[in-house]
Amino acid sequence: MKQRVLSIVDGALLRLAVEAPGALRWASWNRTDGTALLAGDHGSLFEYSDGALKALSSGTSENLRCVDIHPDGGFAYACGNSGTILRVEGGSGKVLHSDARESLRRLAWNKTGGRALVVGNGGVAYTLSPRGELASASGSETHLRSIAWSPKEDAALVAGNCFRDSIGGLTPSPNLFELRGTTLNEISDLEGSRADLTSASWRPDGSTCLLAGFDQTWHTAALLSFSQGRLAEVNWGEEKLFPTACSWNPSGSYALIGTSLLTAEEGLAAIYRYDQDGRITKVDELAGYGVSCIAWKDERTALVTCSRHVRAFSS
């Protein structure tokens, strides 16, 4: 089936078509050779080089939701549904043993490459060593949806849903945590948060972290700034808009925010620009292709994974 990936070069948005068995959901750049890995549904795994996409063998048919290349470029880890964790090396993937059965949504290396964090549904979280050793990280019960490692220290912001599954329905839950060591410590309070936080990105200088999502009650866009242990709301409040990805440009002067549909009738798939002075402007509409990942190679170039199958509640 034809799938879509967007390439941003010097502000121009280019649409790339690729034959893949399912939606491509995540991209990660190799800092050593300028290539990228993309992962997606039905075990899709691709290498991107010089504008071309080459299919790799992943060793799984599970939907892959995230991939991140180790800082030294030698290998990558990917994660996905049913507790799937892959080591990608030498042009193919190998499934690692995991006790998790939940959908694993995000995986990211810390700055040094000393450990990765992988998180997913039901509060499941693991730290993962370069050798593939897993250690459970406790502290959350909600569905976890994003990871943003600090550029300055060995700590990560982990964001998720504002409700958790419980007997008889849904129960309010903290939606923002900070990982230090192997513990997820709550940052948000229940009264002040009705938002599912779907994505997070630190400004490259480490001064602030941008958090994006949507208010579960009013279905308005939610945008927060985290700095020095404190959260501040960024005034956006756009109705029927559901952010699902955000990423600072390496220059630190602006970030891009991607949105997705909530249902076939509600929402808008688009890319917005958030400037450091707080201005938010629409860059382009994407004809129903919801955004799951925005990955910068450098200040000029980025890959954007998007699909008609991406929904705000399941990105």
pLDDT attached to residue 192:
55
Distance in angstroms (rounded) separating the CA atoms of residues 227 and 116: 23
| Residue ranges of domains in the chain | 2-307
What's the pLDDT tens digit per position in 24-47? 999 999 999 999 999 999 999 999
Distance in angstroms (rounded) separating the CA atoms of residues 239 and 220: 4
User: Which residues does the chain have with pLDDT short of 70?
Assistant: 189-192
Take residue 186 and report the two structure tokens written for it.
Answer: 């709550």
pLDDT attached to residue 16:
92
* Residue 71, burial from CB neighbour count under 10 angstroms (0-12, 13-18, 19+): middle
pLDDT attached to residue 84:
97
Take residue 31 and report the two structure tokens written for it.
Answer: 């800092």
pLDDT attached to residue 314:
87
In a 3-state reduction of DSSP, which class is residue 140? Answer: coil
Fold of 2-307: Methylamine Dehydrogenase; Chain H (2.130.10)
Beta-carbon contacts of residue 33 (< 8 Å; ≥ 6 apart): 73
Q: How far is CA 237 from CA 31, 201, 269, in A?
A: 36, 19, 16
Distance in angstroms (rounded) separating the CA atoms of residues 241 and 140: 27
Q: In residues, how long is the chain?
A: 315
pTM (global) more than 0.85 = yes
Instruction: Name the DSSP letter for residue 276.
Output: T
pLDDT attached to residue 155:
97
> What amino acid occupies position 277?
D
pLDDT attached to residue 189:
61
CA angle 271, 145, 196 (to 5 degrees): 75
Exposure b/e, 174-203, CB count within 10 A at least 16 = b: bbbbbbeeeebeebbeeeebbbbbbbbbbb
Q: How far is CA 25 from CA 125, 192, 193, 241, in A?
A: 20, 31, 27, 20
* Residue indicated by tokens 């406790």: 138
Tell me the CA end-to-end span of the chain in Å, nearest whole number: 20
> What amino acid occupies position 266?
E
